[in-house]
Structure 1
Amino acid sequence: MPSKKMTAKKSTGGSAPRVVITLEAADDVSDASQSDEMDVASDGSHHNDFCIVCRDGAVEPNSLVCCSECPRVVCVNCMDIPAAFQHAVLADDVLFQCICCYISQQESRRRQENGPSRLPYFGFHYSDGRPVLDRFLNIRATLELSLRAQISSAPVLFVHLKIVDYDATGGSFDLAYDFLKPYFPCGGLERREVTFDIATTAKAANYQRSVDSMVRALKEQGKWDRVVIGISDHTDNDNGDPFAGYDGKKRFIAARVDNFLDIILKPWQGLVDHASESYLWFFCCGALVNNIESFKTLQTSILRHRMSAAVAFTAPRFQPSFTSHLLLAFAEIVLLERFAIHNSFPHMLGQSFKLGRHTDIFLMTPDKDQLTVTKYCWTHIDHRPWGHYLPLLCPSCGVGNAWRSASKSRVYTFECTNHPCRTSYTFKQPEGSRMLHPGKTGSSCWISIPWKY
C-alpha cells in the first residue's frame, strides 16, 4: 500500500454538534460599552510620521513639514528650500501645502475652468494666500505612491481570536501586523491574541471577564482609529456553524453564527463602535459561507455588530497561510495608505493571484442598513472558466486532463477528447460580473460578482 505520513491538520473544517450558548445580556451587543468614554479623542487626522515623497522618517528634529490641508508630511530633504527662506517658512503665520494637495487642486481647477492654466508650486504660503518663496518650490524626487495615498500612523489595533487547540499552521494575520511595525515608531500599533473556549455558559462568562480587563487597558491608551479582528476557527461541514469550544466530554461543539459572534465580539464592541474603521476576517473553512442559512445569518450579524467590512473564504478545506499576500496588501493599501477597502480590494487581489487557485473570497461592506456582498473569483480560460472548477478527471470515463476547449462570445465549452466519451461542460460569464486587471494574454484574471441569494 502507499506510504502514509501523520502531520498536523492545516485546514479549518470539521464536524461538531450544535449547541446554544447562553450568557446574560448576550443579545445586547454593546449598549454598556458604547457609553464608555475614551481618554483621547481622535478624528483620524493625525499627521503621518513618514514623508509622502521618499517614504522615510525624520532624519533630524523638525525635518518633517505638516500639510495644513491633509495628514501628509514632506521632509526637508525632498524640498529645495532656498537658504534665505529657511527661517521664514517656520513663521507662525505660514501654512504648508503638500505636493499631493497641490496637484489635486490644480487638476480640479483645470477641470472647472476648462483650460490648461496652472499655477507653479510654492508650497509655503502666508495665511492671506501670498507665497513665502520668491520662486517655485522644487521637489527633488518623484512620488512613489498614488496622489491619494497616505502613510498613515493613526492607531491600529489587531485582535486575533483563536479557538482553543487551534492546530492550523500559518501566521498571515500576524505577518500583516509585523509589516506595519516600522511605520509606527511613536506607538499606536498594538496586537492582542486571545484563545477562546465559550462552549458553555460558565466558559463564555469566564471569556468575557478575562477580555474585559484587556479592553479596559486598551481604552486607557486612547482611541483606536482602526480595529482589525481576525477569527481563526473551525466550521461544521454540514451547517456552517463556527466551533465554540469543548463540551464536558472534550468534544468540539459548534454554535449558530449569530450566537457565536454575539458572545465572541461583545467585549470588543465598544472599541469597534468608537473606531472610524473596523474589519472582521474569518479564517475559517468555506462551510460558513457555502451554507445558505449560515451565510444569511452571518450577513445579518455583520450589520448588527456595525463592522466596516468583513472578509470570508469559500474553500471547503481552507488553508489560512495562503492568505499572506492578501493580508499584506490589506495592511499596506487599506491601513497604511488609507484607501477604502471596497475600492482597493481588486488591487489587493492583484498581489495574490495564487490564492484564487485555492479559494473564492467574499467581501461584505455595509451600505446604510443593507450589506453589499461581492464574490471574487479567480478565472483561467483552461483551468477555472469563469471561476468554475473544471473536473481534473472526466467523470464519465476517468481520463485525466483530456479536455478540448472552445470559446465563443465569452462562453467556454469543454469536451472530453477520449473517443467515444464526449462528455462536455459549458460555462458562461456570471451575470453582472466584471473582469479585474486581466493578464496580457487575457487567459487569467480575477472577476467580481455582485452576490444575492
Structure 2
Amino acid sequence: MPYELRKKPAAKKAPEVPSFRPRTRKSAKRSNGAPAPHLILAVPPATAGAPHASAQPALKRMRTQVPDRILEAAPSIVIVRSGNTIEANRFCSLCANGGTLSVCSKCDGSVCQDCVKPANNIAFTCPNCHDGGPYPHKLTYTSRSRGSTQMLDSSPLCIIAFRLAGSPDDGSAEHVAYHRVYPYFRGNVALITVWFNLEDDGAQIGIAVGDLIDTLTGHDFAQFNRFVVTITTHSDPGRGDLHIIPKNQGSLTVSNLMEFLLPAGLQKILGRGSEKDRNLCVFFTCGAAVKRVSSFEDIRSLEASGLFAEVIGFTQKDLQPELLSSWFSELVYSYFVLNYNSSEPVLKNHHVTGSHTGIVSFRKNTIYEYAWVHPTRQPFGKPVVAQCPECGHLNSWTKSLRQGPKSTKKVAPLKDGYDLRCKTDDCEAILSCDPPSTNDWMWVGQPLLDGPHGAWLRFDRTLCECIPTL
C-alpha cells in the first residue's frame, strides 16, 4: 500500500474466511509488457538508405481479415482508404458547414459567406485572426464558442500503424481514430498498418517498409504531408526494450527498432510537409519504455530529431491499448482537424484513460508527465487500495481536510495534502495523502479534486535526472 496507516483503532475481530476456494480461470495476458531476450541487429543498407523499390509490393487496398498464423509468418502492409479526395479547407470554421467559402489570408481557414460577408477590395481574415479594432467584414454568425471558431482542416492525413505480428488489431485505437475523423477527410485520410516480425534479422520488415515507401511516394499519396505514427508492441519491464518477435522471443532498444521502422527514405517522406504540417508519434507500449533511462533517452532523441511535433508514451506497467481508443481518436481529431498545438487540452474529458495510465509527452525540448488524480482513489496521482485495512469495508474512504497552524486555526490548503478517513462506524483508520515532494508539478486546468471524475496533474520532467521516479 503506497500510504501508511497513521492511526489504528483497537483490535477488531477478523472477518470469517470461507472454507472453500474461489473459482479461478486462466487466460492469456493482453497487456503490452513482458520480458524478452535482448538482441542487437544491424540495419541492412537497403533499409537504412534510399527508398526501397520492392519487386512485388504486397499491399491490399481494402482491409481484410488475416489469420494470426499468416501475420506471424510474413505480413506486409494493409491500407484502409475510401471516398473521394476533397479540398483542404472545405468546412466553415464557424458553422462547420460548406457553401461559398472565403479563405483566410493568415491561417488558410475557411469561413462561409452565410457567417461572414467579406468586404470588397480588402484581404479577407477570419474572426480568429483579426488583430483588433473594427472588423472590416460583416459578421452574421451569432455563436462564438471556442469549439465553433477553430479551423477545420481537411488537409491529407496518413495514420501509419506499426504493429508486432500477431497482435490483435480489431477495434484498435488507430481504426477508431480513422473512423472518428473520416467525415472531415473522406479520401484525404488513410490508415496503413505495417506488421513487423524481425526473427529473420529484419528482411521482412525491410520489404514491408519498402512497400510503405513505394506507396507514399506514389501518385495517390503525393499530397499527404501530415502523419500519425504509432508503434504497438510489448516492452521488456526490466530494460524498456521493445519486442520485435512474437511470443516474447526477442527485443531491441527503441533506437535500434526505429532504425528498421523509420529508415532514411521514410524519414524524408515524414519531413516533406511545412512547419504547420505537424506529425505525431505514439508508443502503445507498457510503462517500462518511459521508466527506464536508456529507452526514455531514445524516445527523447526521437522527438529531438524534428520528425514529430510530439512523441507520447504511457506509464502503466500493464498497458491495455483498447482502453486508450477514445482518447487517441479525440487526440487525432483535435490535433489534425482543429489544429490544437499539443495533446494537453484533450485530457480533461478522458478520466477513464487517466484511471488506467499516466501519459508522458515529449515536445519542443519539454517533457511533461500527466497523472490522473482523484480525491479518494488516486490522491496526487498515487493509487489507494479501496478496502480499509482495519475494518475491511470497501470504498469507505472520505476526504478530510487538515487543520492549519493553531495560531490561525485555518484549514490547510488542499494542495498541502489532506487525510482519508474511514467513514465506517467505530473505525478510526486514517491515511495521510501528501503531495509530491518536488516543486516541478502544477495543475492542468482547474484542480477538480472535489469533482466526481477527478482531474489531471502535470509534472515538468524536462530537467529530471532520475527518470525511474516517473
TM-score normalised over the length of structure 2? 0.73
Which residue identity lines up with residue 121 of structure 1 in the other structure?
P
CA distance, structure 2, for counterparts of residue 158 and residue 213 of structure 1? 15
Change (3 A) 1:17 1:75: same
* 1-structure distance, mates of 2:304, 2:192: 24
TM-score (norm 1): 0.75
Shift in CA distance, 168/51, structure 1 to aligned 2, threshold 3 Å: closer
CA distance in 2, matches of 1:357, 1:390: 12
Partner residue in 2 for 1:446: 456
Distance (Å, rounded) in 1 between the aligned partners of 2:363 and 2:135:
41
Alignment partner, residue 36 of structure 1: none
Residues in 1 aligned to 2:378 and 2:46: alpha-carbon distance in whole angstroms: 43
**Percent identity over paired residues:** 21
Q: Which residue identity is paired with 1:105?
A: D
Q: Which runs of 5+ in 1 are unaligned?
A: 34-45, 107-117, 123-136
- 1:390-442 per-residue CA deviation (whole Å, 9 max, x = no partner) reads 23456799776565754433233547769999685442245221112336664
Higher normalized strand content (fraction of residues): 1
Aligned to 1:56: 97
Give me the whole-angstrom Cα distance separating, in 1, the residues matched to 2:135 and 2:387.
65
2:207 corresponds to which residue? Answer: 209
Change (3 A) 1:420 1:50: closer
SS of 2:364's equivalent in the other structure is: strand
SS for the counterpart of 1:19 is coil
Match of 1:105 in 2: 131
1:231 matched to 2:231? The reply is: yes
Name the structure 1 match of 2:134. 119
C-alpha distance 76-313 of structure 1, shift in aligned 2 (>3 A) = same
The structural deviation recorded for 1:80 is 5.9
Q: In the TM superposition, what are the counterparts of 1:80-229 in structure 2 within 5 Å?
A: 95-101=123-129, 104-106=130-132, 118-122=133-137, 137-145=138-146, 149-167=150-168, 170-185=171-186, 187-201=187-201, 204-220=202-218, 221-229=221-229
Could you tell me which residue of structure 2 aligns to residue 388 of structure 1? 382
SS of 1:211's partner is helix
The answer (yes or no) to whether the contact 1:168–1:320 under 8 Å persists in 2 is: no
Q: Letter of the aligned partner of 2:232 in structure 1?
A: S
The alignment status of 1:352 with 2:350, answered yes or no, reads: yes
Q: CA deviation at 1:155?
A: 1.7
Q: 1:99 to 1:394 in 2, by over 3 A?
A: closer
CA contact (8 A) 1:160 1:192 kept: yes
Q: Letter of the aligned partner of 1:412 in structure 2?
A: G
Separation (CA, whole Å) in 1 of partners of 2:29 and 2:179? 25
Distance apart, 1:277 and its partner CA: 1.6
How does 1:30-69 map onto structure 2 within 5 Å?
Answer: 32=50, 48-58=89-99, 63-69=100-106
1:348 CA displacement: 0.2
Residue 169 of structure 1 and its aligned partner are, at CA, apart by: 6.2
Label 1:27 to 1:363 Cα distance change in 2 as closer, same or farther (>3 A).
farther
Deviation at 1:2, TM superposition (A): 2.9
2:279 counterpart SS class: strand
Amino acid at match of 2:278: E
Query: Distance between the aligned counterparts of 1:396 and 1:258, measured in 2?
Result: 48
Q: Is the 8 A contact 1:403 1:414 kept in 2?
A: no
What is the count of residue pairs matched by the alignment? Answer: 387
Q: Is the 8 A contact 1:26 1:262 kept in 2?
A: no
Aligned residue in 2 for 1:19: 39
Distance verdict in 2 for CA 1:65–1:413, change over 3 Å? closer
Cα RMSD, aligned residues only: 3.2
CA 17–441 in structure 1, closer or farther in 2 if over 3 Å, else same: closer
Structure 1 CA distance, aligned partners of 2:444 and 2:308?
Answer: 26
Cα deviation code 1:85-141 (max 9, x no counterpart): 9xxx6xxx664333333xx322xxxxxxxxxxx42533xxxxxxxxxxxxxx34144
Query: Whole-Å Cα distance in 2 between the matches of residues 244 and 175 of structure 1?
Result: 25
**Partner Cα separation in structure 1 for residue 269 and residue 110 of structure 2:** 28
> For the residues of structure 2 that align with 1:421 and 1:94, how far apart are their CA atoms?
73
- Residue 76 (structure 1) aligns with: 113
Residue 283 of structure 1, CA deviation: 0.9
Q: Distance in 1 between matches of 2:299 and 2:214?
A: 28
- Distance in 1 between the 2:248 and 2:375 partners? 44
Matched position secondary structure for 1:230: strand
Structure 1 contact 169–320 (Cα < 8 Å) conserved: no
Aligned 8 A contact 1:53 1:144 in 2: no
Distance across 1 between alignment mates of 2:383 and 2:111? 49
